[in-house]
Amino acid sequence: MTGGTGVPDGHDHEEPSFIRKYIFSTDHKMIARQFLFQSLFFLVIGGLLAAMMRWQLGFPGQPMPGGGIFPDAMVAPTPEGAIMLPEFYNSLVTMHGTIMIFFAIMPLLVGLFGNLLIPLQIGAEDMAFPRLNMVSFWLAVPAGILMLAGFAVEGGAAGAGWTSYAPLSTSGEWTGVYLGQQLWLASLTILGFSSLAGAVNYITTIINMRAPGMTWFRIPLPTWSLFITAILILLAIPILAGALIMLLFDQTIGTGFFRPDVGGEPILWQHLFWFFGHPEVYILILPGMGIVSEVISNRSRKPIFGYHAMVLAMISIAFLGWIVWGHHMFQSGMNPLLGTSFMISTMAIAVPSAIKTFNWLGTLWRGNIHYDTPLLHAVAFVSMFIIGGLSGIFMANTPVDMYLHDTYFIVAHIHYVLFGGSLFAIFAGITFWFPKMFGRMMNETLGKVHFALTFVFYNMVFFPMHNLGLGGMMRRLYDPTEYEFLQTLQPMNKFVSISAFLLVGTQVLFAFNFFWSLFRGRKATANPWNSNTLEWTVPSPPPHGNFAEMPVVYRGPYEYSSPETDDDYYPQNVPPREHPPVAPAPAPFTPSPEPGGAE
Amino acid sequence: MNWSWLLPESVSTFGPDIDRIYYVVLWITGITFVLTEALLLYFLLRYRHKEGRKAHYTHGNNRLEIVWTVVPAIILLGLAFTSKGVWARVKSELPSGAVELVVEAKQFEWNITYPGADGTLGTDDDFTKRNELHIPVNQPVIVNLRAEDVIHSFFLPEFRVKQDALPGKNIPVWFEATETGEFTLACAELCGIGHYRMGGRVIVHSAADYEAWIQTEVAGGQQ
Amino acid sequence: MMTTQAATIDRVREEGSGVYTLKLGMWIFLLSEVMFFTGLIGSYIILRFAHPTDFADPGQVLNVQLTAFNTFVLICSSVTMVKAFAAIEQGDQVGLKRWLLATIILGAFFVGVQVVEYIALTSEGFVPMAEAYAALGREHGTTVIGGPLYGATFYMMTGFHGTHVTIGVLCLMFTYWRARQGKYTATSHGGVEIMGLYWHFVDLVWILLFTIVYLI
């Protein structure tokens, strides 16, 4: 502890050991890459789980190809092959949702882009608390292992849905899952600590470690969005943690918080879960909005339209996000008057999202749009987010929700926001910042083919789900053909399933492009996209400590096609030509601990 | 494959009200969808990169910002205020002169208790049917919804009725059928391994048939 | 520890919160803690309103006098913590160590009393497990007082607070150990300051919990 307190004076001149550099690294860029690889792994797992679910939904009761590799607790072996069991299907539903939300999308947006971008974009040498940052990642790893361990234990993985409504989740008596549910709870609790450590770090870093001239309204939008996101995480995760631990006690020692048989309140779980859960929804989309704003402005070579409106919209989401949780519970038996007020607040929170969409359109208007892979993904985000946003209005409307609640309409909605939204933003972000992360460019042709196929198959999977929902098909159904009125929907279910296999298969292209480019991609220059923000002023990939000297910021991040320069970009750190810099001269760069000194 | 965005026919008194709001929302969102996506496509094609062209340098327009803040806000809040009446009527205004039943959900079946010949629940001639909800047409029905074990959701798609059944609570749900025939009763909330097969039938009788059915059931139950 | 260098950098940096990073981080972390206890207290209030008969009157089951004394001890430990901070602000190393030690002892005493209380209560049938709940109260009558939610919420709230105090005591020991090595000076003592922030927060939460759980 003593030696480790504070970085030794100046840079780490000698090369750190392999373990310090690649495993227990405190460098925010390395931690970002660690999160990237872990999350991509979970993205693959989550995708495969989805494909298995789609097999069962498209071809219920038919032997699953390759299903023979699963133990008898998950599949029923027949002479023709292995047929999925309903308990395994419920585990798939639960684990697909949980893994995608908590172990893929969230760590990609927050763990990867938060770590990669925040210090670089504000001109800091690293996070405020580099070792806390390392702890954040190394808590996410055991959390992930515990989550996956559910599949290996007796009774299988958690099967009460990613929302784990009580009392279904309070005892294995109801689901047949005992240890799996407890592992699920423990894993998410640990992951909560990981997220908290990250959030404290991000907020502190953004408030206190900005380079001179980087005023609040010169902060690039990805960092702004991550700042708001971190605040939401900071305040929402502890609510979830408390609820998870109470549920864990109900499961293990037999308390009765959520168990109605001994006087507990199952609805309390829903209130706690969604009080966390709705801010969580914005945690999952805001960073995507930030990334997309950056990419669209840059690739249109045009300042972002309404920068202040963009920031204010995010801030208002951060406030309104706390008073809309009840819209997940319209049919739960809550007071109808309360339902009405939640409908009104929910309609209100749709406004900032509309503002953002119009501003993206405004940014493209009269731009000079370069059709690179990141832009294509970013524009796909906008167009899919429009669908996801509009479909949300149906369910925000309480009478219409009577019919659509818990049908495939909501499944379509969440995937238009989380896949069409967040995941396309992640693709945009990875392709855009890949050169900064790894010093090489990704292959454009492969990138475009991957984009086109993903976009088409994605819509073939999720658009028909609206129609399935309108037809009345409930979510989380192991076998829809059990219901007579759903049998007419079966051709569509088959269509969705085949499209889903194609969608999952297409991702091989991305994986191939990713790894091929990692080793064989064209070497990247420091600023391949002619961008304005500070991360592009340092080499690709940036050295330890990022900036050779502390940068000075003279203007906002989106001064593209400014009349003041001949180029179509005007980096934040370039002194104005006519007016010599008045800002203080940059001090020699020496990272060092804070005056407090102590850990 | 049915790519239609129309709702299946509804057979309850408030069904058309709910459907009407749905179609209003569908029109509003549909028009918004077409306009925004068309604009997006147009901008993408019209303003694609050309050598030597510089993008228009602007940081936005406050008047526009106000317009696209206020207009959606008015539409959305207007939508909320115009539909709250239907919601209140469906969820909180219990009708008088209704047939009262008890529906108790448990893993994985619906047990429906009928008041028997005397028309009151809690008497000796009450009888219970499994997964069969018999009701008269053109007369309101109040279902006292309960659950024994976990949360289930009482879903009558054709009636536009959905209500979670909570263990330890009694939640009254009302509706009134406008057509005779056989319809679906489904569970809409994941309730365990057998959730997918927790379905039942709703049989809507004419008033006379319903009376007759009650009589035969009572007689059959006391044989 | 390189205070002068750090100060130059801070002057060059864009104006942030005006608070040094370590302290800012602690404040932000405490915000999260506020939400955590808000969730617990909120749940308690909801459960208690929904099931009033599950909860006993003050003093029926819980020993208010003992805990009132324990509350006093915890408040005293906040005073000694302030004293420790005041000492190091003057550069008084001896005072720092003395007052830190006092805080540790008082904090540990608080946890100890809580453990003793837990043992006594569980032996009287006041347990968190719903099926085993059988609290007969301090009169040791024959009727069970309150219900399972009472036991569960009591142990959840006091237990989480106790865990926070225990972690606090461990951190205090670490701070004490560093103080003994002379790591803190009149100009550099952020560790002591953030330790104090955390400790006062835990103290404050206890006053709230004591009021809600024991007195109302």
Encode pLDDT of A138-178 as tens digits. 999 999 999 999 999 999 999 999 999 999 999 999 999 99
Residue C128 and residue C152 in contact, taking contact as beta carbons nearer than 8 Å: yes
Encode pLDDT of A452-490 as tens digits. 999 999 999 999 999 999 999 999 999 999 999 999 999
Return all residues near B53 (Cβ < 8 A) that are at least 6 apart.
Answer: A368
- CA-nearest of A355, A228, A198, A202 to A288 is A228
The mean-pLDDT minimum among A197-201, A236-240, A562-566, B25-29 falls in A562-566
Kindly give the interhelix angle for A221-252 and C21-50, rounded to the nearest 10 degrees. 40
Q: With residue A335 as reference, give the H or E element that holds it.
A: none
Q: Provide, as residue numbers in chain A, all residues whose Cβ is less than 8 Å from the Cβ of B199.
A: 482-483
Predicted local confidence at residue C8, as pLDDT: 42
- pLDDT for residue A594 is more than 60: no
Check CB contact under 8 Å for A303 and B22: no
Residue A165 and residue A269 in contact, taking contact as beta carbons nearer than 8 Å: yes
Tallying the residues shown for chain B, one arrives at 223
Q: How many Cβ pairs closer than 8 A exist between chain A and C?
A: 188
Portion 273-332 of A in contact with C at CB < 8 A: 275
- pLDDT for residue A590 is more than 80: no
Closest residue in A to B37 (Cα–Cα): A383
Distance between CA atoms of residues A397 and A449, nearest Å? 39
Distance between CA atoms of residues A34 and A30, nearest Å? 6
Chains meeting B at 3+ CB pairs closer than 8 A?
A
> pLDDT grade, residue A18 (50/70/90)?
confident
CA atoms within 13 A of residue A81's CA, in its CB half-sphere: 10
Query: Would you say the C-alpha torsion A454, A417, A430, A111 has a positive or negative sign?
Result: negative
Check CB contact under 8 Å for A209 and C19: no
Check CB contact under 8 Å for A480 and B196: yes
Distance between CA atoms of residues B165 and A556, nearest Å? 54
Q: Which of B54, B69, B162 sits opposite A331 (nearest CB)?
A: B162
Average pLDDT, chain B: 94
Distance between CA atoms of residues A186 and A369, nearest Å? 47
Phi, psi of B19 (to 5 degrees): -65, -35
Residue A430 and residue A423 in contact, taking contact as beta carbons nearer than 8 Å: no
Predicted local confidence at residue A9, as pLDDT: 42
Encode pLDDT of C15-73 as tens digits. 888 889 999 999 999 999 999 999 999 999 999 999 999 999 888 899 999 999 999 99
Nearest chain B CA: its distance from A303 CA (Å): 6
Q: Provide, as residue numbers in chain A, all residues whose Cβ is less than 8 Å from the Cβ of C198.
A: none
C-alpha pair distances (Å), A488 with each of A193, A491, A493, C18: 47, 7, 10, 65
Return all residues near C52 (Cβ < 8 A) that are at least 6 apart.
Answer: none
> pLDDT grade, residue A8 (50/70/90)?
very low
Distance between CA atoms of residues A444 and A441, nearest Å? 8
Question: With left for phi above 0 and alpha for psi between -120 and 50, is residue A153 left, alpha or beta?
Answer: beta
Q: Which of A2, A259, A590 sits opposite C5 (nearest CB)?
A: A590
Return all residues near A85 (Cβ < 8 A) that are at least 6 apart.
Answer: A73, A74, A75, A76
C6 touches chain A (CB under 8 A): yes
- CA-nearest of A107, A84, A235, A258 to A181 is A258
Distance between CA atoms of residues C131 and A342, nearest Å? 37
Distance between CA atoms of residues A594 and A575, nearest Å? 29
C159 touches chain A (CB under 8 A): no
- pLDDT for residue A354 is more than 70: yes
The mean-pLDDT minimum among A5-14, A296-305, A407-416, B139-148 falls in A5-14
Predicted local confidence at residue C9, as pLDDT: 46
Query: Would you say the C-alpha torsion A77, A83, A85, A89 has a positive or negative sign?
Result: positive
Neighbour tally for A80: CB within 10 Å: 8
> pLDDT grade, residue A19 (50/70/90)?
confident
pLDDT < 70 regions, chain C: 1-12
Distance between CA atoms of residues A477 and A60, nearest Å? 11
Q: With residue C104 as reference, give the H or E element that holds it.
A: helix C93-123
Q: With residue B103 as reference, give the H or E element that holds it.
A: strand B99-106
- CA-nearest of B60, B204, B218, B49 to B132 is B204
> pLDDT grade, residue B164 (50/70/90)?
very high
Return all residues near C182 (Cβ < 8 A) that are at least 6 apart.
Answer: C93
- pLDDT for residue A28 is more than 50: yes
Encode pLDDT of A73-105 as tens digits. 899 999 989 999 999 999 999 999 999 999 999
Q: What is the ipTM of this complex?
A: 0.96
Distance between CA atoms of residues B6 and B14, nearest Å? 17
Q: Tell me which residue has tokens 């002591």.
A: C192
Residue A440 and residue A545 in contact, taking contact as beta carbons nearer than 8 Å: no
How large is the average pLDDT for residues A205-221? 96
| Amino acid letter, residue A372 | D
- pLDDT for residue A1 is more than 50: no
The mean-pLDDT minimum among A118-127, A187-196, A296-305, A331-340 falls in A331-340
Encode pLDDT of B140-153 as tens digits. 999 999 999 999 99
How large is the average pLDDT for residues B170-179? 96
Chains meeting A at 3+ CB pairs closer than 8 A?
B, C
Percent of chain A with pLDDT over 70: 94
Residue C151 and residue C135 in contact, taking contact as beta carbons nearer than 8 Å: yes
C-alpha pair distances (Å), A196 with each of A111, A201, A224, A249: 11, 8, 18, 22
Predicted local confidence at residue A22, as pLDDT: 85
Distance between CA atoms of residues C20 and B60, nearest Å? 37
Predicted local confidence at residue B117, as pLDDT: 85
| Sheet with B200-205: strands ordered across | B132-136, B200-205, B181-187, B152-156, B161-165
Residue A171 and residue A177 in contact, taking contact as beta carbons nearer than 8 Å: no
| Amino acid letter, residue A508 | V
Average pLDDT, chain A: 92
Q: Which of A129, A235, A255 sits opposite C130 (nearest CB)?
A: A255
Check CB contact under 8 Å for C21 and A594: yes
The dihedral formed by the CA atoms of A366, A368, A369 and A372, expressed in degrees to the nearest 10: -170
- pLDDT for residue A598 is more than 80: no
Chains A and C touch (3+ CB pairs under 8 A): yes
Check CB contact under 8 Å for C43 and A262: no
- pLDDT for residue B188 is more than 70: yes
C-alpha pair distances (Å), C189 with each of A353, B42, C19, C21, C39: 45, 61, 14, 13, 33
Check CB contact under 8 Å for C21 and A596: yes
Return all residues near A576 (Cβ < 8 A) that are at least 6 apart.
Answer: A554, A555, A564
Q: Which residues pair with B184 in a beta bridge?
A: B201
Predicted local confidence at residue A583, as pLDDT: 53
Check CB contact under 8 Å for B22 and A400: yes
| Sheet with B127-130: strands ordered across | B127-130, B109-114, B99-106, B140-147, B171-176
Tallying the residues shown for chain A, one arrives at 599
Largest Cα separation within chain B, whole Å, is 94
CA atoms within 13 A of residue C153's CA, in its CB half-sphere: 31
- pLDDT for residue A10 is more than 50: no
